[in-house]
């Protein structure tokens, strides 16, 4: 009787592993086909391939569908799948960055801002999130908020032109002309004859 139980258990384990292996093979094939369809801009076909193996608990499938729906300009669906991916791995930042693309496309700027804040809560030194959140604050004329972010980036990356020029304009808008001049000079060293830096210098003179 004991031998029969052990044999039955072994057969069940073998069947389970075979099933898992087959599912994994199907999943890999679906992803491979989706990449090929994406290369030819056939996003609907790429999406269809992934839907064949869709699992609501699969982070990779959800984030991939979020990207493909974004490329297909179906921003509502794109956001939905990115949000599913975010819920599955709340401490991963890639799905948060991904969701920013369709959110920006529909100009949902408050939600974009919130995603950057969430990213920075997880990764305080993230340069990309700091820069674009700073741009949002700058465009809203929240120069004090922008200043903190651009200063942080420039302290870490003094040769990053984009952050230097944004910090220069932020300082100028805050009435800190002398500090802005130094930064515009630095920007011109990084990019000689840059129009934005030259414009800033004219305003100070």
The model's pLDDT over 138-195, given as tens digits with 9 standing for 90+, comes to 999 999 999 999 999 999 999 999 999 999 999 999 999 999 999 999 999 999 999 9
Output the pTM of the full model.
0.84
Whose CA is closest to 101, among 90, 111, 87? 111
Which CATH entry fits the domain spanning 126-205: 3.20.20.80, 3.90.1210.10, 1.25.40.10, 1.10.1610.10? 1.25.40.10
* Domain ranges, ordered by start, for the chain: 126-205
Q: At what angle do helices 59-71 and 94-105 cross, to 10 degrees?
A: 20
pLDDT category of residue 17 using cuts at 50, 70 and 90: very low
* pLDDT score of 34: 93
* pLDDT score of 15: 47
Separation of first and last alpha carbons in the chain: 97
Q: String of b and e for 52-87 (b: at least 16 CB within 10 Å)?
A: ebeeeebbebbbbbbbbbbebebbebbbbbbebbbe
């Amino acid at each position: 009787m004991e031998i029969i139980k052990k044999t039955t258990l072994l057969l069940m384990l073998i069947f389970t592993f075979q099933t898992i292996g087959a599912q994994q093979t199907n999943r890999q094939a679906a992803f491979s086909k989706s990449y090929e369809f994406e290369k030819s801009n056939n996003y609907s076909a790429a999406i269809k391939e992934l839907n064949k193996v869709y699992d609501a608990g699969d982070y990779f499938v959800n984030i991939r569908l979020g990207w493909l729906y974004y490329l297909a300009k179906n921003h509502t669906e794109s956001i939905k799948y990115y949000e599913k991916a975010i819920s599955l791995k709340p401490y991963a930042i890639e799905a948060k960055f991904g969701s920013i693309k369709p959110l920006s496309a529909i100009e949902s700027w408050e939600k974009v801002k919130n995603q950057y804040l969430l990213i920075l809560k997880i990764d305080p030194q993230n340069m990309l999130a700091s820069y674009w959140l700073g741009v949002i604050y700058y465009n809203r004329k929240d120069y004090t908020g922008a200043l903190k972010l651009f200063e942080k980036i420039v302290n870490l990356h003094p040769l990053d032109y984009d952050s230097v020029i944004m910090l220069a304009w932020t300082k100028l808008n805050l009435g800190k002309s002398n500090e802005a001049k130094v930064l515009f000079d630095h920007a011109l060293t990084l990019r000689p004859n840059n129009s934005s830096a030259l414009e800033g210098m004219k305003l100070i003179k």
